Amino acid sequence: MSLQTPVLARDEREAIRAAAEWYASLSSGAGDEALRQAWDVWLAASELHRQAWRRVEAVCGRFGELPGPLAGPVLRGVSGRRRAILNAVLLAGAAAPLAWQLQRSQILDRWQAAHQTGVGERRSMALADGSRLVIDTDSALDLAFDARQRLIRLHQGRILVATAGPTRLAPEFRDSPLRVQTRHGEVEALGTRFVVRAGNDVSQAIVLEARVRVRPVGGAGEGVLLEAGQQLDFDGQVAGAARRAAPAAAAWADGRLVAVDMPLGQWVAEVGRYRRGILRCDPAIAGLRVSGAYPLDDTDQALRMLADTFPVRRVLRTSYWVSIEAA
């Protein structure tokens, strides 16, 4: 059976071609500051550019900086590198067309969602039943609240839910439990404050007060009860084992990242969600343990605090490309 290259919209294909060109030029070792500044402008121009850049990065990271079997004489020039990188991106999509189409569907859901936050933005809102919702950075969701259901469809990102108590709940909502649905399953509130995070491979539930019930979309039975102070991850089939919730697991809702003996790689990934562009961690120091409280509304300050406290340094290629390396 031959593999079919996925059919992309013209603007998607052009964005991927441009991202491949940028990746090849920037990784060739010949780039200057003017080139990096031009890349900054291109990356910041649209969400489509950033999606294309992340796709190229993901594929090139999977095969190595020079895509494995494509490496060779063809990669000696920048244009050859661009063709190889572009072919690798399209081949990765062709090798798993169902996954490719699923990802495109998820991106479409995110773009069409009624409630969205940008990178670095948080938003608080009241729901129709009197519950409160805090939406984290780069998140997208839809709401379905009526006499039949109270449903939050979380397409991407993270939310904090504080459910309305029984005495504050309007009569039309009293017979419908509040549920948060992700692509991996659903979390049903049982009179509680809780956090749900929707990732690409798994979703996560963290209970701050009372309890929730977690049901993977493909699981059987009544699901898993999760108590206050616990968290678990779940994919489309099973829920993982409950474990103690991370310290200050909801501190992000107040604009802080509280790290307690956190691996540096995880710290960089969390802070990176709140800033545009690329924030990288040298794999050699990704296991370094860090602690402290860092401002998420000012990631530059968070990076300075990190460098002032631990044996690391910031390497600024551009304002949109920062690497954390050993001091």
Q: For position 123, which CATH number holds?
A: 2.60.120.1440
Mean pLDDT of 286-302: 96
Q: What is the pLDDT of residues 28-44, one digit of tens each?
A: 554 567 777 778 778 88
Mean pLDDT of 121-137: 95
CB atoms within 10 A of CB 156: 22
Position 67 pLDDT exceeds 90: no
Residue 1 belongs to some domain of the structure: no
Q: What is the pLDDT of residues 238-268, one digit of tens each?
A: 999 999 998 899 999 999 999 999 999 999 9
Last residue of a domain, one of 221, 244, 267: 244
**229 and 123 within one domain:** yes
Amino acid sitting at position 279: L
**225 and 170 within one domain:** yes
Average pLDDT over all residues of the chain: 81
- Pick the closest to residue 286 from 249, 307, 312 (CA basis): 312
157 sits in the region (left: phi over 0; alpha: psi -120 to 50; else beta) called: left
**145 and 88 within one domain:** no
* Ramachandran angles phi, psi of 20, nearest 5°: -60, -40
20 confidence band (pLDDT: 50, 70, 90): confident
83 confidence band (pLDDT: 50, 70, 90): low
Residue 2 belongs to some domain of the structure: no
Rounded CA separation 49/230 (Å)? 38
**288 and 318 within one domain:** yes
**117 and 101 within one domain:** no
Q: What is the pLDDT of residues 93-122, one digit of tens each?
A: 544 444 445 555 555 566 678 999 988 999
Q: What 3-state class would DSSP assign to 277? A: coil
Structural contact between residues 185 and 167, judged by C-beta atoms closer than 8 angstroms: no
Q: Quote the pTM value.
A: 0.73
Owning domain of residue 316: 255-326
Q: How many domains does the chain have?
A: 3
Position 8 pLDDT exceeds 70: no
Rounded CA separation 94/97 (Å)? 5
**130 and 64 within one domain:** no
**105 and 121 within one domain:** no
User: pLDDT value at position 217?
Assistant: 92
Q: Residues near 220 by Cβ (< 8 Å), separated by ≥ 6?
A: none
In sequence order, the β-bridge partners of residue 162 are 132, 193
**128 and 103 within one domain:** no
